[in-house]
Structure 1
Amino acid sequence: MHLTIEKTGAREWDEAHLKELFSEGFPEFITADRLVKQYIGRVREFFADLDLMLVDEDGVPVASGWGVPIRWDGRPNPCPRAAPRRWSAPWRDMSGASPPTPW
């Protein structure tokens, strides 16, 4: 099987394919935390370059993923252990409507 990676916003996706792909919903670590719920709506808006689809040779999406950049100096102590802290990190110093920068 040949797979490629595409940005999610690069084209229109067949609704039936998306429905199948997301039929099981989001993992509990995303839906169970209030901090994640607070920020998740802005993730695709601010980090569209990190919103990706894995697509098979027929153009059908088989996986989806997105990321939130964090600053990290390489030491283990400052790296947030819990998902909610990682989610909120890019917005901690943010003011206004501009997206945060991780570097």
Structure 2
Amino acid sequence: MYELIPVADGPQYDEEAEQRFVEDWPEFIFHDVEVKKYRDRRLEYFPEWEFYLVSSDHRLIAGCWGVPIAWDGTVEDLPGGFTDTLARSVTSYEEGVVPNTWVLMAAAVRSDEQGQGHSSRVITAVRDRAVESGLPQVIAPVRPTLKSRYPLTPIETFMTWSRPDGLPLDPWLRTHVRLGAQILAPATASQTMTGTVAEWEKWTDMQFPSSGTYTIPAGLTTLSIDRSADHGIYVEPNVWMRHA
């Protein structure tokens, strides 16, 4: 048996979570400057929307978090992606806008528990929690894990690729579809990470001897380096999905 608990109710898991749930993420993903602008307010406004999934023997299995927003249900009104969703949730809260949608922003399963269906468990549990809390629409800007093997392929093309059984080629998109989700639209600029050349060399464990476009480990698209400006920029695409 497994239980979804608010992070605030499980401080004994915090230290382990900080270690376990960053293992599979590339370092550069944590350097979106715009995200940092809203992080503290998100934690203050929506503490009830950050969760741990724990087993009956009190083992930390997974973690996830999301935010409530107002969305009219159309593709045109979707946020630009991960960062824009965070900004909309915070500013809408401050303006007194009533939300009707819950956005699953991130979910992670500890590396030694992967491949056992836990990602489906945590998504299902948090989706049901949102609906029970009066947020009937559940969407997610999904980071397709297989996309890093095809960094030169546009996200609009990649998200249409499927297996012979009709399910998405990408395993993370496939997990959502199996839970009843539909692909809505590409989020071509879901997050933007910037840094100096030295920072990008540290984050990627690569050298960038000249200005140009580079493929990077775990990058869903390419990194643009400008040595004369001592600047690198990476704009990450995601895929918007809607859960039934």
Q: Does the TM-score normalized on the shorter chain lie above 0.5?
A: yes
Structure 1 runs of 4+ aligned residues shifted over 4 Å read: 25-30
Q: Is the 8 A contact 1:90 1:101 kept in 2?
A: no
The change in CA–CA distance for 1:83 and 1:20 in structure 2 (over 3 A counts) is closer
CA-to-aligned-CA distance 1:11-60 (integer Å, 9 cap, x gap): 43156633542352866685232111111122222101111110012112
Q: Is the 8 A contact 2:42 2:90 kept in 1?
A: no
- Offset at residue 7 of structure 1 (A): 0.9
Q: Is the 8 A contact 1:90 1:100 kept in 2?
A: no
Q: Is the 8 A contact 1:17 1:60 kept in 2?
A: no
Aligned: 1:70 with 2:69: yes
* Structure 2, gaps ≥5 residues long: 101-244
Which one-letter code corresponds to 1:91 in the other structure?
V
CA-to-aligned-CA distance 1:43-99 (integer Å, 9 cap, x gap): 22210111111001211221111111111011110111321111100233526xxx8
Aligned: 1:54 with 2:53: yes
Residue range with higher mean Cα deviation, 83-92 or 25-34:
25-34
Q: What secondary structure is seen at the aligned counterpart in 2 of 1:84? A: helix
Cα RMSD for the two superposed structures: 2.8
Q: Is the 8 A contact 1:35 1:87 kept in 2?
A: no
Q: Is the 8 A contact 2:53 2:63 kept in 1?
A: yes
The change in CA–CA distance for 1:49 and 1:101 in structure 2 (over 3 A counts) is farther
The structure carrying a bigger strand percent of its residues is: 2
* Structure 1, gaps ≥5 residues long: none
- Offset at residue 102 of structure 1 (A): 2.4
The change in CA–CA distance for 1:65 and 1:35 in structure 2 (over 3 A counts) is same
Higher-Rg structure is 2
Percent identity of equivalent pairs: 27
Q: How many residues align?
A: 99
Which one-letter code corresponds to 1:3 in the other structure?
Y
> Whose RCO is larger (CA < 8 A, sep 6+)?
1
The change in CA–CA distance for 1:27 and 1:5 in structure 2 (over 3 A counts) is farther
Distance in 2, Cα, partners of 1:25 & 1:44: 23
The change in CA–CA distance for 1:34 and 1:100 in structure 2 (over 3 A counts) is farther
The change in CA–CA distance for 1:70 and 1:12 in structure 2 (over 3 A counts) is same
Distance in 2, Cα, partners of 1:69 & 1:29: 26
Aligned: 1:102 with 2:67: no
The change in CA–CA distance for 1:72 and 1:19 in structure 2 (over 3 A counts) is closer
Tell me the residue number matched to 2:148: none
Q: What secondary structure is seen at the aligned counterpart in 2 of 1:77? A: helix
